[in-house]
Amino acid sequence: MGNETYSVDIEILDTTLRDGAQGQGISFSVQDKLSVVRALDELGVAWIEAGNPGSNPKDAEFFRLAKNLTLTHARLCAFGSTRKKGLAPGDDPYLKSLLHADTETVVIFGKTWDLHIEKVLEVSLEENTAMIAETVGFLKEQGRTVLYDAEHFFDGWKDNPGYALKTVKAALEAGADRIVLCDTNGGSFPAVISEGVKAVTALGQAGIHAHNDADMASACTVAAVQAGCRHVQGTLLGFGERCGNAALAALIPSLEIKLKLRCLPRGNLTRLSELSRRVAEIANVPVQDNMPYIGNYAFSHKAGMHADAILKERRSFEHIDPFSVGNDRHLLMSEVGGRSAIAERARKIDPSITKDHPVTAALAAKLKTLEAEGWQFEGADGSFELLVRRELGKYKPLFKIDAYRVVSEHPGGDAIACCYAWAKVLVDGQHEIAAAEGHGPVNALDCALRKALNPFFTNFGIEKVRLSDYKVRVIDGKDATAAKVRVLIESTDGTNTWSTVGVSQDIIDASRAALVDALEYKLIGVIERRFKGLF
């Protein structure tokens, strides 16, 4: 990216903090919401739909504090509905709360589908049209930019197209700045979306808000843009009501790279992966590994033939350059991976390695042997790098665990269960013994091990390392509780993330192996940055 020629601009509205917050398992504190706003502003979206101030005190408090934010790119929007039946707009407490939120822009949703109007709202079609027009007109009189969400537009348009278009005209004639067509039930197909959008764009500018209940949200959004929409709504990571919303982290690259439509300020697309992960961390959800463009698997290549082709010509198995969205290429190490992939990974440590190098052949053989024993390195980049270093003779063990013990006590009754561990480590001929208590046996061992290593590795950052994911897999179930287990842990120091693996019939010992690799990987990285060439 950098020399793009864009044919048109697309306005992006992110509704992570409103529609996204309606997703199961998602809950934002006020401080969380402020942090998400900062991340989305850094990304460069045009609008952030930040909540419904009339629905709960938390959103009202957020808008009060948000007045102190200094945003570079985004404008905040408060969200609400058209006036209640039987009330004048100026008497509606929810509309008053929107004004009190003091945002330049408000998003108002109204009913389009006669089914909802007659069966849910229980008003006449004429009253519903008046509710839309009066609400939009009132907010425009108050000096607000109004984005009008035509809820259930496509269902309404299929059942009663004349009336659906009448509601849109009412909003436009009352002064709505944008008409956003909502596939609220998420069941429409792209062809229907295109037809509906074309009908509305004949009247004025249209936007699209798609849900993913038929796994069509991204496809429907792209179809809407190709049919004339220039305003796109979604949540950054796709979570939201029921099956979620269109995922902007997947849509924005498609629109920018594939269709040459500018959604973000120039250069910001390369921060997409980074900022998406920041929002995921705040929301306490993982970025799905197989998420297009930004997921860990998006540019991962396992088959040897694929890896070999990628190294010769990127376009052979990658539809875009992963670095254009801030992601990275991963050549997965496995028994089917092939020597080209192994050599490419080994070259990060020793640039002289080729696929015909003896070390490459030795590593390929070792991988097959270890994977037959239950090890798996395709998701354990840290452990694989240590394996490469050992084979290259570029590995110096930084510490050794001479002995360790883990105890888990469950006294019964009302007594609190307790896990504790002690570890005896050897570093440069010196022993250190440390004990620690933990929330579980693995946590206790982790704490004891770091406590023992701290005197030797002060200011190496191991105190910042934390386990961010922990997975256990039984390798062969026929041995029941005596079976080998594979433990895969993901560690982070707040900046970088790496994964390590351990295998044993003892789940604690498998965890110990993965923990040791995780700490060694971190320490080696720090040492290499400080003293080039030591490893």
Nearest to 277 by CA among 263, 265, 288, 292: 288
**Which of 409-418's residues contact partners 24+ apart within 8 Å by CB, and which partners?**
none
DSSP codes, 120-144? II---HHHHHHHHHHHHHHHHHTT-
Q: pLDDT averaged over the chain?
A: 90
Confidence (pLDDT) at 479: 66
Higher pLDDT pick, 8 / 327: 327
Reported confidence tier of residue 1, pLDDT bands at 50, 70, 90: very low
For range 124-135, the mean pLDDT: 97
Confidence (pLDDT) at 297: 83
Query: Taking the model in full, what pTM does it have?
Result: 0.72
For range 310-333, the mean pLDDT: 81
For range 289-313, the mean pLDDT: 80
pLDDT at 225 over 80: yes
Give the range among 61-65, 237-241, 298-302 with minimum mean pLDDT. Answer: 298-302
Give the range among 51-55, 263-267, 389-393, 420-424 with minimum mean pLDDT. Answer: 389-393
Reported confidence tier of residue 83, pLDDT bands at 50, 70, 90: very high
pLDDT digits (tens, 9 = 90+) for 423-464: 999 999 999 999 999 888 999 999 999 999 999 998 888 888
Percent of the chain with pLDDT over 90: 65
Higher pLDDT pick, 371 / 193: 193
End-to-end CA distance of the chain: 35
Q: Which fold has domain 400-530?
A: Double Stranded RNA Binding Domain (3.30.160)
Which amino acid would we find at residue 347?
R
- Any alpha helices (H) in 350-440, and if so which ranges? 358-372, 381-392
Percent of the chain with pLDDT over 70: 93
For range 273-291, the mean pLDDT: 90
For range 375-397, the mean pLDDT: 84
Confidence (pLDDT) at 3: 46
Confidence (pLDDT) at 114: 95
pLDDT at 535 over 90: no
Can you give the residue ranges of every domain in the chain? 8-283, 300-372, 400-530
pLDDT at 286 over 70: yes
pLDDT at 31 over 50: yes
Instruction: State which H helix or E strand residue 406 sits in.
Output: strand 400-409
Contacting residues for 437 by C-beta, under 8 A, at least 6 apart: 418, 419, 420, 444, 447
- Domain 8-283 matching CATH 3.40.50.300: the answer reads no
How many other C-beta atoms can be found within 10 angstroms of the C-beta atom of residue 68? Answer: 7
Confidence (pLDDT) at 478: 63
Confidence (pLDDT) at 327: 86
pLDDT digits (tens, 9 = 90+) for 333-375: 555 556 777 787 788 888 888 888 888 888 888 887 887 788 8
Spell out a b/e string for 27-38, using b for 16 or more CB atoms within 10 Å of the CB, else e: ebebebbbbbbb
Reported confidence tier of residue 9, pLDDT bands at 50, 70, 90: very high
Tokens of 529: 């940055």
Higher pLDDT pick, 345 / 81: 81
pLDDT digits (tens, 9 = 90+) for 155-188: 999 999 999 999 999 999 999 999 999 999 999 9
For range 137-158, the mean pLDDT: 97
